[in-house]
Amino acid sequence: MLGIRSVFASPVVGVSALRSVIAQKLPEAVVRGERNASVKQLRLRVASVKSIQRITKTMKMVAAAKLKGFQTRMVEARPLGDRINYIVSQIPPAAEGEATAKELKHILVPITSDRGLCGGVNGAVAKQVKALSVDLPKETDIFVVGNKGETLLKRTHASSIKRLVSDCYKSPTSFALASEIAEEIAATTKYDKATIIFNQFKSAIAYNTLSQEIESADLMIERMAAFSEKYEFDDEFCENTWMADMMQFCLASKVYSCLLEAATSETSARMQAMENATKNCGEMITKLTLQMNKARQAVITAELGEIVSGAAAVSEGK
């Protein structure tokens, strides 16, 4: 105490001089507060990680409960998608000369999620879109379904994104929603080929990123004559109008099937991601708890040493 007073009493007081006096009276680690602060910080960090672990565990349980419903609707809708693919396959393909005679107008329809924390499902779709756009004309438009798709593509394909549809998964996916999206695709731009990029559900821990093409009715108007010969039309119906409506229905059916596949893949990926996050939190809690116990034991050991040293100094003074 006399040493500190002497420093303040001197005409020139420096910070370094004050630190040297305090260091003489107290141990260096106590002055800096390293021991006590480290234990306190570790305790707060353990509590924070435990809170995150509870959140991830809850999210995993919610995703597991939703997965069953999504998977049931997806399995029920798959026959519709398979039948639409069969109908489209009955239309004769374009001749090689016809396909290269003119530059076709393409539109890409990536189906992503509105939220994150679902692994790499959105990144896989964005990667597929970038790979396909390399071989397509620069004027290719992109119709994005899901907020995450725009976030991943706007840095490299901002000028190509013509439309964004979000909030598709707030309510259960329905055919009415898919029909509205198909109408928006048709109204956004006049295209010859539409390519839908989505994640196909394979299992609870796996999915495949696929792309399906569907041509517009205008492009197939001449080839539809061979297809329409197999069926009879009433006189009051225009054959061309009926075939155009059929292709619009095929597009809506494909969008509906792909939406269900994408939603199921997203839910399964989120369940898996939250399970991995919960395990990582458990491992981190174990390491932090061990580190905190070591730091606390070091503080106790140092305090015991100081007590013993003080007791020895008092006994020697007597």
Residue 30: pLDDT band by 50, 70, 90 thresholds? Answer: very low
Report the run of H or E that residue 104 belongs to, with start and end.
none
Q: Is the pLDDT of residue 123 over 50?
A: yes
Encode pLDDT of 99-109 as tens digits.
553 578 889 99
Q: Across residues 178-197, what is the average pLDDT? A: 90
pLDDT band at residue 190 under the 50/70/90 scheme: confident
Residue 7 token pair: 């420093």
Strands, E assignment, the chain: 106-110, 141-145, 161-165, 193-203, 206-215
Compute the average pLDDT of residues 113-124. 92
Do residues 111 and 185 make contact, with C-beta atoms less than 8 angstroms apart?
A: no
pLDDT of 193-231, one tens digit each?
899 999 999 998 899 999 998 888 777 766 666 666 666
**Nearest 10 degrees: Cα torsion 204, 207, 213, 217:** 10
Judged by average pLDDT, the poorest of 3-7, 88-92, 214-218 is 3-7
Residue 238 has what pLDDT?
A: 64
**Degrees, nearest 5: CA angle 58-112-79:** 95
Tell me what percent of the residues of the chain surpass a pLDDT of 70. 79
Q: How many CA atoms within 13 Å lie on the side-chain side of 290?
A: 5
Label residue 112 by pLDDT band (50, 70, 90): very high
Question: How far apart, in whole angstroms, are the C-alpha atoms of residue 228 and residue 233?
Answer: 9
- Tell me what the pLDDT averaged over the chain comes to: 81
Task: Point out the least confidently predicted range of 49-53, 131-135, 141-145, 237-241.
Answer: 237-241
d(CA 281, CA 230): 62
50, burial (CB in 10 Å: exposed 0-12, middle 13-18, buried 19+): middle
Q: What pTM does this model have?
A: 0.77
Encoded tokens for 58: 């809850």
More confident residue, 35 or 58: 58
Residues in the chain: 318
Core vs surface per residue 92-109: b (16+ CB within 10 A) or e: eebeeeeeeeeebbbbbb
Q: How large is the C-alpha radius of gyration of the chain? A: 34
Closest C-alpha to 150, from 112, 108, 199: 112
Q: Give the single-character DSSP code of 160.
A: T
Identify the band that residue 240 occupies on the pLDDT scale cut at 50, 70 and 90: low
Amino acid 17: pLDDT: 45
More confident residue, 316 or 110: 110
Among 51-55, 127-131, 297-301, where is mean pLDDT lowest? 297-301
According to DSSP, the β-strands at 161-165 and 206-215 are unpaired
pLDDT band at 279 (very low <50, low <70, confident <90, very high): very high
pLDDT at 9 over 50: no
What pLDDT score was predicted for residue 229? 66
Closest CA to 60 of 253, 272, 236, 279: 272
- Alpha carbons within 13 angstroms on the beta-carbon side of residue 41 total 8
